[in-house]
Structure formats: structure tokens, C-alpha cells
């Protein structure tokens, strides 16, 4: 027998022995016990003075390391799903557009969601600070680390895009109204129960009430008098021309109010709706929403949620630096401001948010409220988190 035969035989025997030991070990494997061992090992690493308790400073070191490892893991998953050319970064060309994403879903290309690049081009532009069309690992970590500050920037709407969107929506609605599917719309079709449109809209596209107009030839959406549309309800629905609406008229297909809405508008309980009541209702709907925050609305929220709300609502210039003047302008009390300003810098920044996160985590772990976390408390409240290490 040749030398290769003995090598193959030895490899086969070694594989069988290894498989046998693996099966024995699998039977003896205890997941809870292994998690406990890991938890104890992590606890011992951060218990610097070896007194069997984690102080706030020791817990803070653990919390920061855990967050860093979570960020690295999350960023690693993003890069693996998007980095098609395997250069360790994400290029703009590797991020699918919304249209491409929808097409891939329709084609069934993403049976495994983990393989999908869950990344938006809008996010990419925010991450790519040097505008080189490449998002590096460092840029992704920085972006994810500032996730508390991910507030959409307020930009002026593009009028051209708005008009195109309105036109597309109007055409889609007309296609649903086209009962005989001849790609033309008649007065009967546009005022049907499916369309809920008025004859005024029809006359914007056809001068002949008995004629029709072609859907694809429309180049702009109709002009809606949105402000007076609600008030003009009497003109549309007043069948007996008595300049008021009864319950039957108000709940018709032309007005489609519910009986509850009718009762709310009919403030004098006359069983009729008049124009003055419609105007009053319209003014109530157009009342400005109270600006800013107040302690009452935030009282029952966790501090982490409260501080995010502060930034999303009150940081008007999006500089990620919330000042006392902005707090006053947003009706946030100074008492609440001081609880968020953990470093007493007279402003609330990323380090304040991070400190609040750690403080709340320490409170959660300190079950017996002795301002220390023992190994049992750590294992119970932080045990699952240790798997990231």
C-alpha cells in the first residue's frame, strides 16, 4: 500500500475521534452556565479594586466598551451587506436607489434580508463628510455614535418635484375612476362614488360637460381651493337649496361626513349645519400647534427619550449644541435643563447624552439601590449584553 493510503486512513480516524468528543461535549454543554461564566469573567475584568462590587466609574468603563463593541459589530454588518467590491468601505454606487430597492423586492432577489444593503442614499450623504462618495468604517462609526442627533434637516421643498408628485397622484386617481378603461374620463366618472371629485375639476380639462378628456394628456394637477373646500360643502351638498345641510345631505357621497362629525359641527343642536358653523370648525382645525416642550408632557418618559425629544424639537439650527437660550425659547424649564447638562457646561451635547445613558444603565443594574452593582445584579441585568465581548 502506498503512503497516500495511510495518510487518508489516519485523517479519517482523527476526524471520527474529534466528532465523538464534540458530541460528548455538546451533550454536556449548558448555555446558561456558559453565559454565567462569561458574565463573571467580564465582571471580574471591570472590578478593578477586586471588592466584588462595580462602582459607577467601573460600570461606566464597562458601558462605554460595550457600546463601542456594539457599534463596531453594527458597522461591520452594514459594510458586509453593502461592500460589493470588498474594499472595506461603502461607495455611493454600491447603495441602491429607492427604485432599485423596490425592483429587487419585486424580483424576489432578497430572500435573505441579511444580504440586503439596508442603507439609504440620504444617510450616505450625511455620513460622507469629505464628499468623496465613499463611506469609511470610521465615518460610519462616528455617524452611528451620534445616532441621538440624527435629526432631519429642514429644507425648502422643491416646487418642481411637488408639482410632479401631485400630477402623478392625480393621474393614478383618475385611472381608478376610469370604469370602462378607455383612458378617457367623463363627467359621470369623475363625480362617481369612486372619485369623489366635483364637476369644477372636470371643467378644468374639458369645456364640454357631455365630452371627456384623455388622462395621459394632462400636464398639471387641478387647482384645489383647499382652504375653502370644507366651507363650500353646503354649495356641493345642499340638494333642497335651503342654504343649510341636514344629516342626510351631510352624510351623502358628496360630503361624506360621519354622523359624529355632523354632531360636532352642529354646535347649536338645530339638526342643521350652516355656513357659520363650518367656518368656526375650520378655524378650530387651523389653530397653531403649541410650540415647544413642557415638563408635563415629558414627566412619564425615560430621560433618554426626553433628551432626544429636546434635540429633535428645540435644536432649531441643528448644530448639536443645545444652549440655555434655545431651552428658554422652547419652554424647557431650567430645572430640567440642569438635569441634562451633566458636565455643567451651560449647554447639552453628545457627552451629556452619553452620561445620561450610563447613569440610567447603572440605576437599572443597581437592583437593591445601594449605589453598587454586585455580581448577581450584574449577571441578572447585564448578562445577555456580555455576549458582545
**pLDDT of amino acid 137:** 86
Q: Contact at 8 Å (CB) between 360 and 303?
A: yes
Classify burial at 361, counting beta carbons within 10 Å of its beta carbon; exposed 0-12, middle 13-18, buried 19 or more.
Answer: buried
pLDDT on residue 287: 57
Cell of 279: 367656518
Per-residue model confidence (pLDDT) at position 96? 82
For the domain spanning 56-145, the CATH number is: 1.10.238
Q: Chunked in runs of 10, what are the mean pLDDT values of the chain (389 residues)?
A: 52 52 52 80 91 93 90 86 87 82 66 65 78 86 68 59 86 88 91 76 88 91 66 76 87 77 88 84 62 66 81 77 86 86 88 88 91 90 78
pLDDT of residue 214: 93
Structure confidence at residue 308 (pLDDT): 78
C-alpha cell at 328: 428658554
Query: How would you classify residue 342: left for phi > 0, otherwise alpha for psi between -120 and 50, otherwise beta?
Result: alpha
User: CA nearest 151: which of 350, 298, 361?
Assistant: 350
CB proximity list for 244: less than 8 A, separation 6 or greater:
234, 238, 272, 273, 274
What global pTM score does this model have? 0.54
Rounded to the nearest 10 degrees, how much is the dihedral formed by the CA atoms of 378, 382, 387, 389?
-70
The confidence score (pLDDT) of residue 209 equals 87
Residues 6+ apart with CB under 8 A from 46: 54, 58, 59, 61, 62
What are the CB-based long-range contacts (under 8 Å, 24+) for 93-101? 93/133, 95/119, 95/120, 95/121, 95/124, 97/121
Helical axes 56-82 vs 31-46, angle rounded to 10° = 120
Residues 6+ apart with CB under 8 A from 232: 225
SS3 for 91? strand
CATH topology assigned to domain 295-366: Recoverin; domain 1 (1.10.238)
Q: Which CATH number fits domain 226-285: 1.20.120, 1.10.10, 3.40.50, 1.10.238?
A: 1.10.238
* Cα separation, 193 vs 180, whole angstroms: 15
Q: How buried is residue 134: exposed, middle or buried, by Cβ count under 10 Å (0-12/13-18/19+)?
A: middle
Mind listing the pLDDT tens digit for each residue in 157-179?
Answer: 677 888 888 888 889 889 988 88
**How far is 244 from 8, CA to CA, in rounded Å?**
97
Domain with CATH 1.10.238 in the chain: 56-145, 226-285, 295-366
Q: Please tell me the predicted confidence (pLDDT) of residue 46.
A: 92
pLDDT at 155 (0 to 100): 52
Closest CA to 144 of 168, 167, 119, 166: 119
Amino acid at each position: 500500500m502506498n503512503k497516500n493510503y495511510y495518510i487518508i486512513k489516519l485523517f479519517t480516524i482523527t476526524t471520527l475521534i474529534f466528532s465523538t468528543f464534540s458530541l460528548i461535549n455538546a451533550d454536556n454543554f449548558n448555555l446558561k452556565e456558559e453565559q454565567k461564566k462569561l458574565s463573571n469573567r467580564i465582571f471580574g475584568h471591570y472590578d478593578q479594586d477586586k471588592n466584588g462590587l462595580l462602582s459607577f466609574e467601573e460600570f461606566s468603563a464597562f458601558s462605554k466598551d460595550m457600546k463601542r463593541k456594539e457599534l463596531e459589530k453594527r458597522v461591520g454588518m452594514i459594510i458586509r451587506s453593502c461592500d460589493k467590491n470588498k474594499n472595506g468601505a461603502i461607495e455611493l454606487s454600491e447603495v441602491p436607489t429607492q427604485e432599485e430597492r423596490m425592483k429587487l423586492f419585486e424580483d424576489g432577489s432578497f430572500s435573505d434580508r441579511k444580504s440586503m444593503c439596508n442603507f439609504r442614499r440620504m444617510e450616505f450623504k450625511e455620513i460622507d463628510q469629505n464628499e468623496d462618495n465613499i463611506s469609511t468604517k470610521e465615518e460610519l462609526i462616528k455617524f452611528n455614535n451620534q445616532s441621538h442627533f440624527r435629526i432631519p434637516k429642514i429644507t425648502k421643498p422643491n416646487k418642481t418635484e411637488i408639482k410632479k408628485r401631485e400630477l402623478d397622484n392625480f393621474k393614478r386617481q383618475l385611472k381608478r375612476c376610469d370604469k370602462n378603461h378607455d383612458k378617457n374620463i367623463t363627467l359621470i366618472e369623475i363625480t362617481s362614488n369612486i372619485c369623489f371629485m366635483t364637476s369644477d375639476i372636470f371643467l378644468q380639462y374639458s369645456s364640454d360637460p357631455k365630452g371627456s378628456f384623455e388622462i395621459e394628456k394632462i400636464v398639471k394637477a387641478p387647482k384645489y381651493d383647499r382652504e375653502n373646500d370644507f366651507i363650500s360643502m353646503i354649495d356641493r351638498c345642499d340638494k333642497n337649496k335651503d342654504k343649510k345641510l341636514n344629516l342626510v345631505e351631510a352624510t351623502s357621497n358628496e360630503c361624506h361626513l360621519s354622523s359624529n362629525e355632523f354632531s360636532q359641527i352642529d354646535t347649536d343642536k338645530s339638526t342643521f349645519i350652516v355656513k357659520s358653523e363650518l367656518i368656526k370648525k375650520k378655524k378650530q382645525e387651523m389653530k397653531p400647534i403649541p410650540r415647544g416642550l413642557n415638563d408635563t408632557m415629558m414627566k412619564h418618559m425615560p430621560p433618554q427619550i426626553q433628551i432626544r425629544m429636546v434635540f429633535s424639537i428645540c435644536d432649531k439650527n441643528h448644530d448639536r449644541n443645545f444652549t440655555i437660550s434655545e431651552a428658554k425659547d422652547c419652554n424647557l424649564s431650567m430645572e430640567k435643563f440642569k438635569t441634562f447638562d451633566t458636565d455643567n457646561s451651560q449647554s447639552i451635547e453628545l457627552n451629556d447624552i452619553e452620561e445620561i445613558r450610563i447613569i440610567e444603565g447603572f440605576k437599572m443594574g443597581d437592583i437593591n439601590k445601594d449605589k453598587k452593582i454586585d455580581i448577581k445584579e450584574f449577571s441578572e441585568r447585564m448578562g445577555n449584553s456580555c455576549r458582545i465581548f
